[in-house]
Amino acid sequence: MQRIRGYKYRAYPNKKQRELFEKTFGCCRFVYNHYLDEKQRLWREWRDTLSFSKMSKDLSHTLKMNHSWLKDVDSIALVQSLRHLDRAYDNFFRKKGGYPKFKSKRYKQSYRTMKVNSNISIDGDSIILPKAGRVKIVNTRDFDGRIISATVSRTSSGRYYISLQVEEEYEALPNAGGQIGLDAGLKSLYTTSDSDIYPNPKTLSFHEKRLKRLQRSFSRKQKGSNNREKARQRLAREHEKVSDIRNDIQHKITHKLASENQVVCIEDLDVRGMMRDRHLAKSISDASWGELYRKLEYKVKDHGGMLIKVPRTYASSQICSCCGRKEPKVKDLSVRKWKCPSCGTEHERDVNAANNILKKGLEMFAS
């Protein structure tokens, strides 16, 4: 079985390569914004639009002639920015995303180029890219497959990464064959049907004091000054540190769950809807349930397991996992422990919910 997978590497380009990357970021951004403006103008004046083929032809015959500096960068990357614009409009009309916005030179920058013949390859601790040549990387992962494309990105703090899209043969990794139910929370990140509780690391809350101090320092600096840019980079590095810690924890958790279990049952949470609660939005964002479940989904699949999502309307916390009686008073979130009036079993709220999620998931699988 074949699959397409991404491999991301930290890159350390030299000064000349960094200049080329920055120029390519700017050219791709210019092309994207130029044709987004053209599409909007055509629609306002003539109720017409530009197809990808028309934009590509105009880029080659007109835009490059009027702006000769566009010829200094990878031409495939410029065409890919048009594809991204075309896909953004397509997603908008299919109601899969918002209306396309103009790209900014601030924040994260990236461009994508496709492999043609042998213009992209990996060789030890280097990746060979069009125009840039051999770029030094930290090679932490090997693969056997056909490279399809490469994406060069720069974070807000100035770190460079190269992501390779690879088509490779896929063999499921082993798992221990267990069955488990998970109940997500804020006090504890998740509770399992085996009564294991993983505490919420609250990464953002732990670094919030330093983030506030760096934000105030950044706001005091004069706009356009070098000190303001240095303060911006310090703030960006701290935000990336929070993100890196959270990602590291999530990868470890999801790998453990995927390698130990054949069936993992979770609740299909409406995270976006829950984020509308202004009292809990920051805590829910810090817990990052959506990203945790996204990682868990592909890792369970990689290990040959099955992820079952129980409907969010299922009252997992209110039902006794032993006799099945529903106790409405448990709907109150302040009730952490309760005793079933029918069978007399004492329940820990989250453990009981995890057991019910597992039972419901197995019922769904059986049916």
Residues belonging to the active site: 183, 267, 350
One-letter amino acid at 94 equals R
Residue 264 bridge partners (DSSP) = 180, 307
**Hunting for tokens 């918002």 — which residue is that?**
98
The answer to whether 271 and 284 have CB atoms below 8 angstroms apart is yes
Closest by alpha carbon to 154, among 105, 113, 108? Answer: 108
Give CA–CA dist 81/92, Å, rounded.
17
Give CA–CA dist 134/139, Å, rounded.
13
Burial 134-158 (b: 16+ CB within 10 A, else e): bbbbeeeeeeebebebbbbbbbbbe
Residue 147 — left, alpha, or beta (φ > 0 → left; ψ -120 to 50 → alpha)?
A: beta
The answer to whether 21 and 13 have CB atoms below 8 angstroms apart is yes
Q: Residue 307, class by beta-carbon neighbours within 10 Å (0-12 exposed, 13-18 middle, 19+ buried)?
A: buried
Residues shown for the chain: 367
Closest by alpha carbon to 235, among 208, 253, 272? Answer: 208
Name the DSSP letter for residue 332: S
Q: Residue 352, class by beta-carbon neighbours within 10 Å (0-12 exposed, 13-18 middle, 19+ buried)?
A: buried
**Hunting for tokens 């990996």 — which residue is that?**
122
Query: How many other C-beta atoms lie within 10 A of the C-beta of residue 353?
Result: 27
Backbone angles phi, psi at 279, to 5 degrees: -80, -30
